[in-house]
Structure 1
Amino acid sequence: MGVTSQGMVGERIKAIRRQRGLSQAQLAHPELSDSYVSLIESGKRTPTPAVLELLAQKLDCSLTYLVNGVTAEQMEELELGLRFARMALDNGELVEARRRFAELLQDSHLTGLASLRQDARYGYALAAEACGDLPDAISVLTALRTDDAEGQSQERRVQVALALCRCYRELGDLQAAAHVGEGSLGLGVSRPVWDDGLMELGSTLLSVYIERGDLLRARQFATELLTAAEELGTPRALVAALWNAAVTIEKMGSGEEALPLIERALAIHSENGDPRNLARLRASYGMMLLRTRPEEAPRARDLCLRSLRELRESSAGVAAVTLCLTYVAQTEIASGRIPDAMEHALEARESDPERVGNVIMAEVHLILGQLYWLQERDADCLAELALAKQLLEQLPATRKAAETWQAIAEITNRAGDQGLGTTAYQRALACVGL
């Protein structure tokens, strides 16, 4: 119990004692001395849990209220609200989750509940990130690392650093992302004592190296992560390291070398992983297979279709399902199944943009543009690409944005809009700093 909370407990004891019309001596007798009660009320002594429980009984109030300033009923209501907010986030109800977390943070009863308040702030940051409001998420996460650092568990500190590193990466501030990741891991000072949480943070840092084009550093770090994961031996660490190492190696042009790694990650995760993450990994494998071995497009399609079924059967959110629909559509295009691809792309287009985000919706419009172009429907093609352009203009300059801009440029040029094609090429170059 810190100095501030210690003083607040003393003030609550004094206030309730006076409400009950008791003197310090009456409250103390016979178990305690009146001078001890006086020291507690002035914040100069920290009562033990046993003494707090005794005082709560004597004052006829709940221990919860004495310690936290809330009644047991208010505490239960706050915990229930937090649980519902987390459920909304887990189920992909992103706007609803953000609203619920925000309401919790405005509740005055949460002020003295450090742990619950940290949970609510962290949840709000994740919801803001999922809604695409990266600056707001970064602001809250940064405050969590500084203002609320005292009393945080190591697990929570790693979770906050992981989310902050990821948000900076998505915002395009790769220098800040690397600074958070490297600083939290202690790189350059000492080597981490790896655990599952630090492995996931290291894997996110690895993706930052890939994004900024530092592929040599990425390859070296991927090797380090794989070695550490093998020594740690936990499924969570192995999956994180294998999955991200596979992505790294593929980005360096060695898809055939990457496939065995992601296949091993899938095998491990299939035994004990959660259904949603397993489905995401399976879809990632399907897309890597498609890029590396285009002739295996039908198999890649089967993998993505299975992933789509698994996501729908799990508690996956709309964003995850919509992204998987784009994967299925791409594998169907590569398999020559244009009507099926159109069906899945149109289903993806029906998703609520507020729940899906601009990155995924831009990809949906891009795929529809490609499909319309394949059907020689140039006007519809250009209309979809214009919508993709509007969404991309609201996003940070990242490698992924550059790839999407380049794809828009190529398709618009084929469809006959040289102006949009030139603009898209320019935006692609700007995203990579050229």
Structure 2
Amino acid sequence: MQYLEQPAFGKLVNSLRRERGMSQADISGEGVSSSYVSRLESGHRAPTPQAVRHLAARLGVPEDTFQARSPQVVATLQAEGTAALEDSRPRAAVEALRVAAVEAKDAAPELLWQVLWNLARAHEQLGERTEQREVLTRALEVGDVLDSPVLQVKALVELAVCARVAGDVEESVAFAARALALGEQHAQIPRADVARTLLALVAAESEAGRLAEAVRHAELAQRIPAEELGPLRVRVLWTAATVAVRQGSGERGLELLEEALEVADRKDDLLTWGRLRLAAVSLRLRLQDEVTDQVAQWYREAETVVGLIGNRVHQAELLAIQARMAFIQGDARRAAELAGKVLAEPDALAHHDRMRTEILLHQAEIVLGSSEQPVAALRSVAESLQSSGNLDLATEAWKALADALVNAG
């Protein structure tokens, strides 16, 4: 059997190992030392048949995973991975597309971009944002090589989303702003992609506390004709509603939210339909601080959808909202339990949602009578958010701290 050449072999071993949360020592053994694994992964040593058999066993993959393949196989793996993705089997898609990405180093850049784009989508469906970001970075490089503004914009928008989810709001703004500039310079970029760019920019600007800019860009997105947006119209209205509420225009926010709920069709995108209801719960709670019958109904509808097709990220979002509802209803103990459960799951929530849940946890702890430690923790969260440029969240944290101190006094 002919194996992959270096550095492709080492990159594949490294990817498989990291995906499984294993160290180099974990996959070493008789005849395969940790230092040898390190040299293999760096591309400085060629693999031996014995090493390949050992690594395949430790990593739990077939030995032919490391087999060199002809260029035609890349297209086959791409087709298999895309089919798995469309069949809602993202893990199988990752397995096929990751190998295709390694094999495609000598393939046409157009094919490589498609492989990377679908691999990034598969990682997103699995909630693997770090891996998604790495793949998108490579996709952007390929888009630059092809000098394709359309492909560059697609990669930049998703990179902006990944950066914001990770809490890097300024980097997110930069990615989205670059995408918007390309959209303004090149007429061939679809209006729907321009809308996605604006939505990514609005979300990042909102987190950064740049509400005036966020409002302006949200209005630009709303001016794009509905027929050019299709199902994306729901997200445009949803985003505009969120910005309006953050700006203090609660009534306008509710109007936009109601319109989004009317436009949304579960047949177009069931997951978006369910997540929109979860967003509606969140916005209503921010405005009214009351769990009404309508809020409870939206939550039940979202819970049903997430239970059917949601991944661990969506499940964590659901629990975080449930914790907030419990707190508003006066059940601080239940709120603390749920918030703690969500926070115990690493990387399940986007950075902004995770921080809001941590703020809620400390608020619940204060209500339960343990004030000194959670007050200090709440202050630390507020200071950290402010120093990192997450001004919208920092404002929420400082307000929660002030309320806690007033209640404690």
For residues 408 and 141 of structure 1, the distance between their equivalents in structure 2, rounded to whole angstroms, comes to 41
Q: Are 2:169 and 1:172 aligned?
A: yes
For residues 383 and 163 of structure 1, do their structure 2 counterparts lie closer, same or farther at Cα, with a shift above 3 Å needed?
same
Matched residue SS, 2:265: helix
- Where does residue 398 of structure 1 map in the other structure? 390
Q: Tell me, yes or no, if the aligned pair for 1:381 and 1:415 is still in contact at 8 Å.
A: no
* 5+ long unaligned stretches in structure 2: 1-68
Aligned residue runs from structure 1 range 11-410, under 5 A? 70=70, 75-81=75-81, 102-105=98-101, 107-109=102-104, 111-123=106-118, 127=123, 130-132=128-130, 136=134, 139-147=137-145, 149-150=146-147, 154=150, 156-167=151-162, 169=164, 170-173=167-170, 176-186=174-184, 195-230=191-226, 232=227, 234-297=229-292, 299-314=294-309, 316-350=310-344, 352-356=345-349, 359-378=352-371, 381=374, 389=381, 396-403=388-395, 405-406=397-398, 409-410=401-402
For residues 290 and 140 of structure 1, do their structure 2 counterparts lie closer, same or farther at Cα, with a shift above 3 Å needed?
same
Q: Tell me, yes or no, if the aligned pair for 1:206 and 1:222 is still in contact at 8 Å.
A: yes
Percent identity over the alignment is 15
For residues 344 and 214 of structure 1, do their structure 2 counterparts lie closer, same or farther at Cα, with a shift above 3 Å needed?
closer
Q: What is the letter of the counterpart of residue 119 of structure 1?
A: Q
Deviation at 1:227, TM superposition (A): 2.6
For residues 166 and 77 of structure 1, do their structure 2 counterparts lie closer, same or farther at Cα, with a shift above 3 Å needed?
closer
For residues 89 and 410 of structure 1, the distance between their equivalents in structure 2, rounded to whole angstroms, comes to 47
For residues 82 and 135 of structure 1, do their structure 2 counterparts lie closer, same or farther at Cα, with a shift above 3 Å needed?
closer
Matched residue SS, 1:270: coil
Q: Tell me, yes or no, if the aligned pair for 1:131 and 1:355 is still in contact at 8 Å.
A: no
For residues 343 and 301 of structure 1, do their structure 2 counterparts lie closer, same or farther at Cα, with a shift above 3 Å needed?
farther
TM-superposition CA deviations, 1:394-429 (whole Å, max 9, x none): x9532355246536744885799xxxxxxxxxxxxx
Q: What is the letter of the counterpart of residue 342 of structure 2?
A: A
Q: Tell me, yes or no, if the aligned pair for 2:274 and 2:306 is still in contact at 8 Å.
A: yes
For residues 187 and 108 of structure 2, the distance between their equivalents in structure 1, rounded to whole angstroms, comes to 35
Q: What is the letter of the counterpart of residue 377 of structure 1?
A: S
Q: What is the letter of the counterpart of residue 80 of structure 2?
A: L
* 5+ long unaligned stretches in structure 1: 1-68, 417-434
For residues 248 and 348 of structure 1, the distance between their equivalents in structure 2, rounded to whole angstroms, comes to 25
TM-superposition CA deviations, 1:127-182 (whole Å, max 9, x none): 489534797467435413312x35x694x444213113334555222652353132
For residues 359 and 103 of structure 1, the distance between their equivalents in structure 2, rounded to whole angstroms, comes to 33
Deviation at 1:311, TM superposition (A): 0.9
For residues 399 and 294 of structure 1, do their structure 2 counterparts lie closer, same or farther at Cα, with a shift above 3 Å needed?
same
For residues 218 and 290 of structure 1, do their structure 2 counterparts lie closer, same or farther at Cα, with a shift above 3 Å needed?
same
What is the alpha-carbon root mean square deviation over aligned residues? 4.3
Deviation at 1:192, TM superposition (A): 8.5
- Where does residue 60 of structure 1 map in the other structure? none
For residues 410 and 305 of structure 1, do their structure 2 counterparts lie closer, same or farther at Cα, with a shift above 3 Å needed?
farther
For residues 115 and 251 of structure 1, do their structure 2 counterparts lie closer, same or farther at Cα, with a shift above 3 Å needed?
same
Deviation at 1:88, TM superposition (A): 8.3
For residues 412 and 132 of structure 1, the distance between their equivalents in structure 2, rounded to whole angstroms, comes to 35
For residues 358 and 257 of structure 1, do their structure 2 counterparts lie closer, same or farther at Cα, with a shift above 3 Å needed?
closer
Aligned residue runs from structure 1 range 413-424, under 5 A? none
For residues 412 and 103 of structure 1, the distance between their equivalents in structure 2, rounded to whole angstroms, comes to 52
Q: Tell me, yes or no, if the aligned pair for 1:328 and 1:344 is still in contact at 8 Å.
A: yes
Of structures 1 and 2, the larger Rg is shown by 1
TM-superposition CA deviations, 1:104-124 (whole Å, max 9, x none): 43x335531534421333355
For residues 246 and 362 of structure 1, do their structure 2 counterparts lie closer, same or farther at Cα, with a shift above 3 Å needed?
closer
Q: What is the letter of the counterpart of residue 283 of structure 1?
A: L
For residues 133 and 324 of structure 2, the distance between their equivalents in structure 1, rounded to whole angstroms, comes to 32
Q: Tell me, yes or no, if the aligned pair for 1:121 and 1:144 is still in contact at 8 Å.
A: no
Q: Tell me, yes or no, if the aligned pair for 2:238 and 2:257 is still in contact at 8 Å.
A: yes
Q: Tell me, yes or no, if the aligned pair for 1:301 and 1:332 is still in contact at 8 Å.
A: no
Matched residue SS, 1:353: coil
Q: What is the letter of the counterpart of residue 182 of structure 1?
A: L
Deviation at 1:256, TM superposition (A): 0.8
Deviates more, 1:324-333 or 1:352-361: 352-361
Q: Tell me, yes or no, if the aligned pair for 1:246 and 1:261 is still in contact at 8 Å.
A: yes
TM-superposition CA deviations, 1:209-230 (whole Å, max 9, x none): 4344444444344333223234
Give TM-score scaled by structure 1 length.
Answer: 0.62
Q: Tell me, yes or no, if the aligned pair for 1:125 and 1:140 is still in contact at 8 Å.
A: no
Deviates more, 1:247-256 or 1:166-175: 166-175
- Where does residue 43 of structure 1 map in the other structure? none
